[in-house]
Copies of this chain bind each other. A is one copy, B any other.
Amino acid sequence: MTTTASELRTKGAAARDAARALARVSAEVRNGAIRNIASHLLERKAEVLAANRKDMEAGRRAGLSEALLDRLLLTHERLEGIAADVRQVATLPDPLGEVSDMRTLPNGLQLGRKRVPLGVIAAIYESRPNVTVDIASLCLKSGNACILRGGKEAIHSNTALAAVVRDAVAAADAPDNAVQLIESTDRALVGEMLKMRELIDLVVPRGSAELIRFVAENARMPVLVGGTGVCHTYVDRAADIDMGARVAYNAKCRRYSICNALDTLLVHADIAETFLPAIARAWAEAGVEMRCDQRSLGILEASDVAGLSLKPTQVDDFGKEFLAPIASVRVVDSLDEALDHIYEHSTGHSDAIITEDYSAAMRFLDEVDTAVVYVNASTQFTDGAQFGLGAEIIDSTQKTIARGPVALREITTYKWIVLGSGQTRP
C-alpha cells in the first residue's frame, strides 16, 4: 500500500506508454471497454461493497461527519447508478478524429487540425469513490490515459473500483495500463506527481478550495481549475418582477451546495421596493438567510414579509461562496454599478441578468467576463449535461483550455496534419 516516488514515476511512464497505444484504439474498442466497466461493476458488486465497508468503518472510527460518510458510502443502488452513468458515456459521440479548418494553400499543401487525445490526465480528488469510475470512463472515451489519486478515506473503495476498471479494460483488448491508481495516500506524493511534467499532460484537481489552490500553485504542467463559483444574479430596473423572483429562487434553492448556486443578489434601486419583498417571501419559505446591505435591509425591515432571516452584510459576504441557504443582497443604482460589483467579486463561473431591456441585456452579455453569462435564466443551468455536452468533468473557472462545463471535447487537443507532394519552403 505504500508507493514511493520512483514507483509513482513507473506508473506515470506506464500511463504514458498506454496513452500511445490507446490513441490507436478505435472508438468501438474504447466504447466496449466502457460498457465492460459497467457490467463488471455489477458482477463484482460484492467485492466493491466489501471494500467500501472497510472505508466506512475506518471513517466512523476516525469520526468523519455524517455528510462525509454519506459521500463515501456505496450501496447496491448507487453502484447501479454509477454503472448507468458509465453506460451513458459509451453512447456519447466520439470526441476524436474530427478534422477542422482543412484547406489547400496556394503552394498545394493541404492542412487542417485533427482532434486527438491529450495524452495522460491526472486527477486528484477527494472522498467520493464514484469519481474513480467517472474519470476513468471519460478518459477512456476521449482516448486519454489517467492517473487517479483519490482521498485517503476512500482508499479501499478506490482500489477495488480501479481493479474492476482495469480488468474490464483488458477484457475489451484495450490497454489496462491506461488506468493507473496511486494507492498511497501519502500527501507528499501529490507534490511529486505535480513535478512529472514529462509524463502528465493535464492535472484536474476536484475537491476543496485548498486542494485546488495547492495544485494550481505547485503543478509544473497545465492544470484545469474549476468548481469555485461566486455567482451573481442582477435584477435590472426593467426586470419582469415575477420572472426575476422565480429565477433567483431557482438559482439559490434548487440545490444549495453546488458551485452554480446564487451567492449574491443585486437589485436595481428603481424596483428594489417591489422585487426585494417578492424574493424575500419565496426565500423565507425555503429558510434562506439574507445578508443585506444597508439599503436592502431597510426595505426588507419595513416590509410585511413574515419569517424573514435578515442580517446586515459582514466583511467578505460579497465575493463569498456560501454553498448553503444564505445569500448576500445589495441594492445598486445602475447597471454600471452592478457590472462593477460583478467585476470585483465574481469568480467567473456563472452570472445572470434579469431584464426586459434589450440594451441592458446586450451590455451584460458583452461586459461580464464570466464562463457562462445568462440573460433571464437560472445560473443553475451551468452543467455539461444541461448544455447538451454529455458528461462533465468539472466547471472550469479559468480562461485557458476550457471555460465553463468541461466535457469530453475539452479534454482532447488537436494536431495539424499537412499533406504535401514534395513542397519545400522558399
Interface residues of A (CB under 8 A from B): 20, 23-24, 103, 105, 109, 111, 114, 116, 118-119, 197, 201-202, 216-217, 220, 222-223, 240, 243, 246-247, 249-251, 254, 343, 365-367, 369-378, 380-382, 386-388, 398-401, 403-405, 413-425
Contacts and interface: CB of A to CB of B under 8 A. Distances in A.
Given A118-B399, A399-B118, A400-B222, A418 B247 contact: no
Contacts of A422: 240, 243, 246-247, 376-377
A403 B414 contact: yes
15 contacts: A103-B388, A105-B387, A105-B388, A116-B369, A216-B220, A217-B220, A222-B399, A246-B422, A247-B420, A249-B424, A365-B417, A378-B425, A387-B416, A401-B401, A403-B415
A190 to B, nearest CB: 16
Contacts of A388: 103, 105
A62 to B, nearest CB: 32
Contact of A119 (B217, B399, B413): B399
Contacts of A415: 369-373, 403-404
A401 B400 contact: yes
Nearest to A405: B416
B376 A421 contact: yes
Contacts of A420: 247, 374-377
A315 B118 CA distance: 30
Query: In terms of DSSP, what is the predominant structure of the interface of chain A?
Result: mixed
B398 A111 contact: no
A220 B202 CA distance: 14
B20 A343 contact: yes
Contacts of A24: 366-367
Nearest to A24: B367
Contacts of A386: 105, 425
A282 to B, nearest CB: 12
Contacts of A114: 365
A414 B410 CA distance: 12
Nearest to A216: B220
The 5 closest A-B pairs by CB, nearest first: A377-B420, A250-B424, A243-B422, A376-B420, A372-B416
Contact of A381 (B240, B377, B405, B418): B418
Contacts of A109: 377, 381
A235 to B, nearest CB: 12
Most buried by B among A103, A197, A414, A415: A415
A217 B202 contact: no
A318 to B, nearest CB: 16
A387 B386 CA distance: 37
A85 to B, nearest CB: 19
B413 A373 contact: no
